[in-house]
């Protein structure tokens, strides 16, 4: 089932001195149940493209469709709250909230009751393979792998069907990398998510169902 | 959820949070202190304006030297000496100059004689001095009274008490060339005891006491002409009492009697213009002072001294008819009547040679009964024993034909009121007039100094208020930066998790505002309670006394009173706290909005923390 579709998407950064065309005409369709990997050299526009899929901004040209609806027409805050979640290389957890509170955050945002959210958080912790001791730790006390698991748990906590990850294993060792990739794969295959992962690592890409190669803001074959 | 998370996060940086809380509390203490002190100083200033009055008294200085020659027949001595004298009396109108801003114009306060026979002025058994007598007399042998001569008492024209002796010793003591007295002729004379020197056989010597001449003044202060001022005794011939001179002697007798039943009545435009009332040594003890309106309307109300009220059994609200028959523009009643005395004799004949007639009579209501503390003092500023105070405007007839004395402006007769704090300005303008003969003294009960103190507090409070507010702004900028700008990433994450910009704004502001709110409430309460203390510290004390800024009239009793100082205001304190919260809202909003301008996109894709 098609979840996300990019149609001739362009994106330019407008800086003081110049215009950088980061994405230059990408069309692609993402479906539930698959793990997609985006690869390409640095500066090829991967993160920019992912941000557009996350609805953090609108394409300068072209369209992104979410379940057939134009991203420009929908409430993008709501979209991120309910449908799509993003995981970053630098984890981006709330540093002043505990693992549990971080995971509960999107649920509370959706208005889920605290007790319910707590239970669900515990469940998610288990699913991403976190020890219960981590529950009440602050991010800076956790290892990189743990932080990324918390980030994924938080991403999944919102529910929805799209998980976007920008080099989620970039700061992790091989052992942890493998675990995270397995987690992402599971998410795509058993939880009915469309999982889109940016990576530099060929081993990670090898695990994906589909691999998109980018160069100069375009997809290449 | 937003609030909880927001507060949760701010509480997890306790050091910063406590620091912020303490600083914002401190800043609001300063601001509240400042705003309260500011208000208090303004309120006090207003209160002072109502309580304090600034009055000036005017005195014409003696600028002329006069040679005086005197002769005393008793010790055959001739003296000549110089005394300084006043120039011609200046009119008060010279003080009506451009830029003089009077609350009460300078006026020369007259006192009037009110003839009140039947009233008691002294306790029943008090001693009376004998006073003057008017008699016809003869001599046994021709003589010149340049020494004590024996005269035979004839017909008694006037004597307060019957004369029981057949003869007196008489000397025209201060006359260098007395007229000869002839045996077989009858003379008439007003005479009184000569206080120094005794005559033959240790008896008292009598000297001429009054002439039949008139000393009436015109309204302009000029002595009206009269040819009989030198006549101290003259021969009584057949039909003498039908003649002009003879009538004058009889009128003089009447003029001698009236002062014994005369009460001085001072007419003024404000009780405060009379120094003893001004400095509080004399005050209205029962009833009320004459009000501004009563003065302005010229209502027939009066203040009477407690002794008068007591001896004559008068209460507040009682009526008192005051027949006024002379006006004295030279002296204050207190000065003319002397200390504790109830008799002041003047030459009681008008220019027509008659006793002064009552020129105005009206019924006055006793508005208040006044009391003088600390006894009389010796200067002319004190009140006379039975002095009655009435509004100038209540007198509806002119006193122009009843002026028995006229003199230059004196401190005890001439005063005015100007706005508080305008002494310097007034004097500057006055000095430009170049009237060297007039000396002006001001009394303001230390208003000028108090005002300076208040201005000081006002300045300090303004400084505190500004310092508090500036500190608030700086603290807010610093901590907004710390709590908000430094947490751009948090905002970005929130955005990426689907929080709207508005939610992010609130999420950031809730914590900081809560602390600012608590801090400013506590701070403004503390400021409120500290204001009193601070006001005392800044002003030294809350007392004022009745000593004067500029010189002092007399040995006034040092009466200290506490002026009720304005109190700090809780509403104002809260309002000040409110301003601080408002500042916090505004500043944090600006900073958050600025944060939100950054697209989360770039922040989040950073590769390392
Ligand atoms: N906020 C920005 N403002 C201006 N230019 C930007 C901005 N972010 C990215 N770019 C530019 O856009 C182009 C694409 O950047 P992007 O981050 O999408 O590449 P990327 O493929 O993710 O690279 P990397 O592998 O290093 O993460 C680059 O040339 C980059 O310099
Ligand atoms: Mg990138």
Q: B479 in helix, strand or coil?
A: helix
What ipTM goes with this model? Answer: 0.90
Q: Does B421 touch chain A (CB under 8 A)?
A: no
A22 touches ligand 1 (CB under 6 Å): yes
- pTM score, two decimals? 0.69
pLDDT at residue B608 is higher than 50: no
Per-residue pLDDT reduced to its tens digit, A6-24: 999 999 998 888 999 999 9
A46 touches ligand 1 (CB under 6 Å): yes
Is A122 exposed, middle or buried (CB count within 10 Å of its CB: 0-12, 13-18, 19+)?
A: middle
Over residues B354-358, the mean pLDDT reads: 92
Gap from CA of A91 to ligand 2 centroid (Å): 14
Band the pLDDT of B288: cuts 50, 70, 90: very high
CB B126 within 8 A of CB B385: no
Over residues B390-404, the mean pLDDT reads: 95
Give percent helix, percent strand, percent coil of chain A, each to the nearest 5.
Answer: 40, 30, 35
- Residue B500: count of CB within 10 angstroms of its CB: 15
Query: Does residue A25 come out as left (phi exceeding 0), alpha (psi in the -120 to 50 range) or beta?
Result: left
Beta carbons of B8 and A79 less than 8 Å apart:
no
Q: Does B499 touch chain A (CB under 8 A)?
A: yes
Q: For strand A2-14 and strand A19-31, is the pairing parallel, antiparallel, or unpaired? A: antiparallel
Instruction: Spell out which residues of chain B touch residue A57, defining contact as CB-CB under 8 Å.
Output: 599, 601
Task: Rank A125-129, B152-156, B551-555 by mean pLDDT and report only the highest.
Answer: B152-156
Say how far apart CA B516 and CA B509 lie, in whole Å: 10
Per-residue pLDDT reduced to its tens digit, A64-82: 999 999 999 999 999 999 9
Q: Which residues contact B240 (CB under 8 A, 6 or more apart)?
A: B188, B246
Per-residue pLDDT reduced to its tens digit, A33-64: 999 999 999 999 999 999 999 998 899 999 99
pLDDT at residue B284 is higher than 60: yes
pLDDT of residue B581: 93
pLDDT at residue B198 is higher than 60: no
List the residue whose alpha carbon is closest to atom 24 of ligand 1.
A42
Sign of torsion, CA A144 A146 A152 A157?
Answer: negative
Put simply, the chain A residues between 61 and 90 with a CB less than 8 A from any chain B CB are 77-82, 85-86, 88-90
Length of chain A: 221
pLDDT at residue B120 is higher than 60: yes
Q: Where are the alpha helices (DSSP H) in A26-143?
A: 46-53, 76-82, 99-109, 114-127
CB B262 within 8 A of CB B110: no
Beta carbons of B607 and A170 less than 8 Å apart:
yes
Over residues B281-303, the mean pLDDT reads: 95
Q: Which residues of B556-565 are buried (b: 16+ CB within 10 A; e: fewer)?
A: beeeeeeeee
Instruction: Spell out which residues of chain B touch residue A91, defining contact as CB-CB under 8 Å.
Output: 609
pLDDT at residue B31 is higher than 90: yes
CB A103 within 8 A of CB A157: yes
Instruction: Spell out which residues of chain A touch residue B493, defining contact as CB-CB under 8 Å.
Output: 92-94
Residues B407, B413, B417: CA angle, nearest 5 degrees: 135
B602 touches ligand 1 (CB under 6 Å): yes
State the average pLDDT for chain A.
Answer: 92
Band the pLDDT of B136: cuts 50, 70, 90: very high
pLDDT at residue B190 is higher than 60: yes
Length of chain B: 609
A103 touches ligand 1 (CB under 6 Å): no
Best residue among A11, A20, A53 to mutate for probing ligand 1, ranked by most atoms within 8 Å of CB:
A20
Q: Which residues contact A13 (CB under 8 A, 6 or more apart)?
A: A19, A20, A22, A48
pLDDT of residue A129: 85
Per-residue pLDDT reduced to its tens digit, B219-257: 988 999 998 888 888 999 999 999 999 999 999 888 888
Q: Which two tokens stand for residue B222?
A: 């000029």
pLDDT of residue B174: 84
A25 touches ligand 1 (CB under 6 Å): no
Per-residue pLDDT reduced to its tens digit, B508-561: 899 899 999 999 999 999 999 988 787 777 665 544 443 433 333 333 333 334
Say how far apart CA B121 and CA B118 lie, in whole Å: 9
């Amino acid at each position: 089932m098609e979840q996300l579709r990019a149609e001739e998407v362009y994106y330019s950064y407008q800086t003081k001195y110049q215009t950088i065309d980061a994405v230059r005409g990408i069309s692609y369709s993402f479906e539930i149940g698959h793990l997609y990997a985006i690869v390409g050299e640095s500066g090829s526009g991967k993160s920019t493209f992912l941000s557009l899929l996350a609805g953090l901004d609108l394409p300068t040209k072209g369209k992104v469709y979410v379940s057939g609806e134009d991203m420009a027409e929908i409430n993008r805050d709501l979209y991120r709250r309910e449908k799509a979640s993003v995981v970053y290389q630098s984890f981006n957890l709330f540093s002043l909230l505990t693992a549990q509170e971080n995971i509960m955050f999107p649920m509370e945002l959706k208005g889920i009751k605290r007790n319910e959210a707590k239970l669900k958080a515990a469940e998610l912790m288990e699913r991403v393979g976190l020890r219960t001791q981590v529950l009440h730790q602050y991010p800076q006390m956790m290892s990189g792998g743990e932080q990324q698991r918390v980030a994924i748990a938080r991403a999944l906590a919102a529910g929805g069907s799209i998980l976007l990850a920008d080099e989620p294993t970039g700061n992790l060792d091989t052992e942890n990398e493998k675990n995270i990739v397995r987690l992402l794969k599971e998410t795509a295959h058993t939880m009915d998510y469309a999982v889109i992962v940016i990576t530099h690592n060929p081993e990670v890409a090898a695990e994906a169902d589909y691999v998109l190669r980018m160069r100069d803001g375009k997809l290449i074959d | 959820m937003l609030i909880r998370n927001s507060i949760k996060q701010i509480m997890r940086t306790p050091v910063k949070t406590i620091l912020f809380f303490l600083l914002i509390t401190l800043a609001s203490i300063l601001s509240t202190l400042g705003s309260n002190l500011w208000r208090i100083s303004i309120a006090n200033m207003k209160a002072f304006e109502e309580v304090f009055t600034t009055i000036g008294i005017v005195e014409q200085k003696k600028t002329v030297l006069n040679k005086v020659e005197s002769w005393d027949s008793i010790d055959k001595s001739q003296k000549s000496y110089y005394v300084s004298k006043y120039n011609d009396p200046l009119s008060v109108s010279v003080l009506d100059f451009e830029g003089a801003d009077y609350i009460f114009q300078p006026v020369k306060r007259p006192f009037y004689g009110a003839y009140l026979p039947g009233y008691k002025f002294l306790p029943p058994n008090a001693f009376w001095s004998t006073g003057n007598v008017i008699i016809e007399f003869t001599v046994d042998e021709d003589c010149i009274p340049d020494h004590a001569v024996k005269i035979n008492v004839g017909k008694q024209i006037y004597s307060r008490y019957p004369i029981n002796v057949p003869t007196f010793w008489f000397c025209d003591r201060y006359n260098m060339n007395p007229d000869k007295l002839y045996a077989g002729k009858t003379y008439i004379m007003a005479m009184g005891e000569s206080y120094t020197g005794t005559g033959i056989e240790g008896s008292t010597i009598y000297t001429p006491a009054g002439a039949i001449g008139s000393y009436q003044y015109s309204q302009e202060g000029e002595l009206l002409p009269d040819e009989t001022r030198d006549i101290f005794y003259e021969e009584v011939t057949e039909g003498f009492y039908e003649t002009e001179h003879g009538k004058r002697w009889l009128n003089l007798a009447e003029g001698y009697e009236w002062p014994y039943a005369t009460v001085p009545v001072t007419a003024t435009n404000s009780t405060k213009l009379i120094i003893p009332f001004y400095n509080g040594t004399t005050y209205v003890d029962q009833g009320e002072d004459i009000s501004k309106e009563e003065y302005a309307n010229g209502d027939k109300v009066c203040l009477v001294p407690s002794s008068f009220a007591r001896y004559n059994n008068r209460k507040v609200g009682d009526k008192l008819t005051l027949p006024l028959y002379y006006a004295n523009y030279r002296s204050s009643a207190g000065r003319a009547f002397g200390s504790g005395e109830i008799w002041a004799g003047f030459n009681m004949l008008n220019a027509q040679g008659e006793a002064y007639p009552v020129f105005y009579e009206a019924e006055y209501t006793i508005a208040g009964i006044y009391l003088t503390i600390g006894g009389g003092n010796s200067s002319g500023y004190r009140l006379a024993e039975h002095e009655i105070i009435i509004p100038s405007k209540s007198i509806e007839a002119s006193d122009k034909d009843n002026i028995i004395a006229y003199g230059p402006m004196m401190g005890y007769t001439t005063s005015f009121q100007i706005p508080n704090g305008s002494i310097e300005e007034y004097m500057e303008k006055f000095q430009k007039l170049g009237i060297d003969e007039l000396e002006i003294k001001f009394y303001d009960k230390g208003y000028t100094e108090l005002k300076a103190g208040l201005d000081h507090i006002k300045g300090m409070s303004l400084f505190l208020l500004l310092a508090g507010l500036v500190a608030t702004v700086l603290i807010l900028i610093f901590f907004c930066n710390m709590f908000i700008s430094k947490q751009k990433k948090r905002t970005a994450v929130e955005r990426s998790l689907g929080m709207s910009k508005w939610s992010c704004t609130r999420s950031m502001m809730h914590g900081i505002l809560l602390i600012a709110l608590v801090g400013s409430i506590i701070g403004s309460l503390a400021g409120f309670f500290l204001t009193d203390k601070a006001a005392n510290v800044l002003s030294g004390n809350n007392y004022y006394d009745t000593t004067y800024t500029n010189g002092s009239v007399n040995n006034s009793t040092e009466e200290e009173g506490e002026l009720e100082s304005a109190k700090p205001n809780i509403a104002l304190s809260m309002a000040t706290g409110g301003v601080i919260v408002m500042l916090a809202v505004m500043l944090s909003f600006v900073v958050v909005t600025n944060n939100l301008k950054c697209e989360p996109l770039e922040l989040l894709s950073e590769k390392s923390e």
